[in-house]
């Protein structure tokens, strides 16, 4: 079944859209992301934010305005709106390379979306990032270049990596070690799996999305 998809464009550094929204997709401009979409000739379905980046509020038939005094970022509010509309898959652009605090917040957003059962990708600066929670992500043999894994919260256990230059076998990764950085694809099918916890993955945008993602029941016995 095809997942309903949401595209969110924020006000950070923007390299363009490496994939184009389909007519049935939900496109949200988060504040300054409206300028990027306008330059591409794309009219967002929703314009959302506190508009501190745009400075003025454009005219739009579906405007969701928030006070600048709020708990969440515009990107997080846009993601929440997308979930309310039934979206399960998210592509986030303009979320890296601007303010460092917002870049870090968008990594937190990736993790939150993953833990909520969503499939989300943060795309920019030549990279794709995603988060997996009790999940397996598989990559084609054609994938090349660096592949990095980060644990940014409580320890992630039951971590397996195969098909990369360096393998992991039932490992534990935590937020105070850098063990998962700068692995490499090797020209063969590869996968990463985490049995408990959440991991953030990063790879070159030229490799596209994982070939497959699937949830792994925590009580499932591994067949090696």
pLDDT at 32: 84
**91, 193: one domain:** no
| Cβ neighbourhood burial of 59 (10 Å; 0-12, 13-18, 19+) | exposed
Is 96 contained in some domain? yes
Residue 47 in any domain: the answer is yes
The residue range of the domain holding 34 is 5-125
Domain boundary among 72, 106, 125: 125
pLDDT score, position 222: 46
Q: What is the pLDDT of residue 60?
A: 75
> Are residues 33 and 103 located together in one domain of the fold?
yes
Tokens of 161: 């990596």
Is 220 contained in some domain? no
Which residue among 88, 108, 125 closes a domain? 125
| C-alpha distances out from residue 82 to 46, 52, 75, 197, Å | 10, 21, 10, 24
What is residue 190's predicted lDDT score, i.e. its pLDDT?
98
Residues 43 and 113 occupy one common structural domain = yes
HSE toward the beta carbon, residue 181, CA cutoff 13 A: 6
pLDDT by residue, tens only, the chain of 224 residues:
456 999 999 988 888 888 889 999 999 999 888 889 999 999 999 998 877 776 777 777 776 776 666 778 889 999 999 999 999 999 999 999 878 988 999 999 999 999 999 999 999 999 999 999 999 999 999 999 999 999 999 999 999 999 999 999 999 999 999 999 999 999 999 999 999 999 999 999 999 999 999 998 866 534 43
What's the rounded Cα separation, in Å, for the pair 48 and 66? 7
Domain CATH for 158: 3.40.50.10240
pLDDT on residue 68: 66
Same domain, 51 and 134: no
The residue from 125, 155, 171 where one domain ends is 125
Structural domains in the chain (count):
2
Distance CA 23, CA 9 (A): 16
**Residue 222 located in a structural domain:** no
- Asked if residue 106 and residue 19 are part of one domain, the reply reads yes
């Amino acid at each position: 079944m095809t997942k309903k998809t949401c595209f969110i464009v924020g006000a950070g550094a923007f390299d363009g859209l490496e994939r184009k929204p389909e007519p049935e997709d939900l496109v949200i401009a988060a504040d300054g992301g409206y300028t990027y979409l306008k330059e591409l000739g794309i009219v967002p379905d929703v314009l959302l934010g506190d508009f501190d980046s745009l400075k003025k509020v454009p005219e739009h038939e579906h405007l969701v305005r928030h006070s600048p005094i709020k708990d969440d970022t515009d990107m997080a509010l846009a993601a929440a709106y997308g979930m309310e509309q039934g979206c399960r898959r998210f592509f986030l652009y303009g979320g890296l390379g601007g303010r460092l605090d917002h870049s870090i917040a968008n990594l937190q957003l990736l993790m939150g979306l993953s833990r909520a059962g969503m499939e989300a990708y943060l795309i920019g600066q030549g990279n794709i990032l995603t988060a997996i929670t009790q999940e397996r992500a598989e990559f084609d043999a054609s994938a090349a270049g660096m592949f990095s894994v980060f644990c940014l919260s409580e320890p992630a256990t039951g971590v397996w990596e195969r098909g990369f230059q360096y393998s992991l076998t039932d490992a534990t990764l935590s937020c105070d070690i850098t063990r998962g950085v700068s692995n490499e694809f090797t020209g063969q099918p590869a996968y990463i799996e985490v049995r408990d916890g959440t991991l953030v993955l990063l790879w070159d945008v030229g490799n596209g999305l994982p070939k497959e993602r699937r949830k792994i029941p925590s009580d499932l016995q591994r067949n090696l």
